[in-house]
Chains A and B, each alone.
Chain A
Amino acid sequence: MEDQGIILVSCGLFEKKLTGRVAADVSRELHYPVELKDCSLDISHFYNPGRRQYDANKLLKAISQRAPADAVKVIGMVRVDLYIPILTYIFGQAGLGGYTGVASLYRLRNEHYGLDPDYELLIDRFSKVIIHELGHTFGLIHCSNPVCVMRSSTYVEDLDQKDKQFCYRCRAELNRVSNLHN
Chain B
Amino acid sequence: MPNRVSILIVDDEESVRDSLYNWFIDDGYRVECAENAKKALALLDEKEFDIVLADIKMPGMDGMEMHRRIRALPRVPIVIIMTAFAAVDTAVQALKEGAFDYVTKPFDPDDLSHLIRNAATQVALKAENENLKEHVTSLVDVEDIVGESEPLNKVLREVEKVAPSDSSVIITGESGTGKELVARAIHSNSPRKYFPLISVHCGALSESLLESELFGHEKGAFTGAAFNRKGRFEMADGGTIFLDEIGTISAKMQVELLRVLESKTFVRVGGNKEISSDFRVICATNRDLKEMVAKGTFREDLYYRLNVVNIKIPPLRERPDDIPGLVKHFIQKYCTSMSRDMISIDPAAMKHLETFEYPGNVRELENMIERAIVVGNGRVIKLKDLPMGKEVISSSIESLDDLEKKHVTKILEKYSWNISRSAKALGVDRATLYNKIKKYKLKDR
List residues of A whose CB falls within 8 A of some B CB. 31, 51, 57, 83-90, 93, 95-96, 111-116, 136, 141-142, 144-146, 152, 154-155, 157-158, 161, 165-166, 168, 171-172, 175, 178
* Interface SS of B by simple majority: mixed
B199:A114 contact, CB within 8 angstroms: no
Q: Using A142-B26, A168-B143 as known contacts, list a sample of 14 further A-B pairs with CB atoms less than 8 Å apart, ordered by residue number in A.
A: A85-B13, A88-B108, A111-B224, A111-B226, A113-B225, A115-B225, A115-B229, A136-B26, A144-B188, A145-B141, A154-B109, A155-B109, A157-B229, A178-B339
Contact of B106 among A85, A95, A113, A145 (CB under 8 A): A85
Contact of B27 among A145, A152, A165, A175 (CB under 8 A): A152
The A-contacting residues of B in range 374-415, CB under 8 angstroms, are: none
Residues in B neighbouring A112, C-beta threshold 8 A: 226-227
Assembly CA distance A87 to B19 (angstroms): 9
Residues in B neighbouring A89, C-beta threshold 8 A: 109
> Residue-by-residue, is B2-28 near A (CB-CB < 8 Å gives 1, otherwise 0)?
110000000001011011101101111
A160 to chain B, nearest CB (A): 10
Contact of A114 among B22, B141, B217, B230 (CB under 8 A): B217
B25:A141 contact, CB within 8 angstroms: yes
Closest to B337 in A: A171
B107:A141 contact, CB within 8 angstroms: no
Q: List 19 A-B contacts (CB under 8 A).
A: A85-B106, A86-B112, A87-B106, A87-B107, A96-B25, A96-B26, A113-B227, A113-B229, A114-B227, A114-B229, A141-B27, A142-B27, A142-B28, A146-B196, A152-B26, A154-B109, A157-B232, A161-B198, A171-B336
Closest to B338 in A: A31
Closest to B220 in A: A114
Assembly CA distance A56 to B223 (angstroms): 32
Top 8 nearest A-B pairs (CB, nearest first) are A114-B225, A154-B110, A154-B109, A141-B28, A84-B19, A85-B15, A114-B226, A142-B27
Contact of B336 among A88, A115, A146, A175 (CB under 8 A): A175
Residues in A neighbouring B20, C-beta threshold 8 A: 86
A152 to chain B, nearest CB (A): 6
Is B113's CB within 8 Å of the partner chain A? Answer: yes
B113:A154 contact, CB within 8 angstroms: yes
Residues in B neighbouring A166, C-beta threshold 8 A: 337
B25:A88 contact, CB within 8 angstroms: no
Assembly CA distance A31 to B15 (angstroms): 34
The A-contacting residues of B in range 322-357, CB under 8 angstroms, are: 333, 336-337, 339
Residues in B neighbouring A146, C-beta threshold 8 A: 184, 196-197, 199
Residues in A neighbouring B13, C-beta threshold 8 A: 85
Known: A171-B336, A172-B336. A86 touches B225 (CB 8 A): no
Closest to B239 in A: A146
Known: A31-B339, A157-B230. A115 touches B26 (CB 8 A): no
Is B105's CB within 8 Å of the partner chain A? Answer: yes
- Total cross-chain contacts (CB, 8 A): 113
B205 to chain A, nearest CB (A): 12
A57:B226 contact, CB within 8 angstroms: no
Known: A57-B15, A57-B19. A86 touches B106 (CB 8 A): yes
A168:B110 contact, CB within 8 angstroms: no
Assembly CA distance A103 to B183 (angstroms): 32
Assembly CA distance A166 to B25 (angstroms): 19
Is B235's CB within 8 Å of the partner chain A? Answer: yes
B230:A86 contact, CB within 8 angstroms: no
Known: A157-B230, A161-B199. A83 touches B106 (CB 8 A): yes
Closest to B333 in A: A168
A87:B230 contact, CB within 8 angstroms: no
A161 to chain B, nearest CB (A): 6
Is B363's CB within 8 Å of the partner chain A? Answer: no
A155:B224 contact, CB within 8 angstroms: no
Assembly CA distance A165 to B144 (angstroms): 15
Is B436's CB within 8 Å of the partner chain A? Answer: no
Assembly CA distance A93 to B28 (angstroms): 16
B341 to chain A, nearest CB (A): 12
Assembly CA distance A84 to B83 (angstroms): 16
Closest to A178 in B: B339
A165:B110 contact, CB within 8 angstroms: no
B110:A155 contact, CB within 8 angstroms: yes
Assembly CA distance A30 to B402 (angstroms): 53
Residues in A neighbouring B305, C-beta threshold 8 A: none
Among B19, B141, B221, B227: residue with most chain A CB under 10 A: B19
Known: A86-B107, A87-B109. A165 touches B28 (CB 8 A): no
Closest to B114 in A: A154
Residues in A neighbouring B19, C-beta threshold 8 A: 57, 84-87
B401 to chain A, nearest CB (A): 49
B188 to chain A, nearest CB (A): 8
Assembly CA distance A165 to B226 (angstroms): 31
Contact of A95 among B22, B108, B110 (CB under 8 A): B22
Residues in B neighbouring A178, C-beta threshold 8 A: 339
B16:A85 contact, CB within 8 angstroms: yes
Is B219's CB within 8 Å of the partner chain A? Answer: yes
Assembly CA distance A111 to B217 (angstroms): 14
A153 to chain B, nearest CB (A): 9
Assembly CA distance A158 to B114 (angstroms): 13
Residues in B neighbouring A171, C-beta threshold 8 A: 336-337
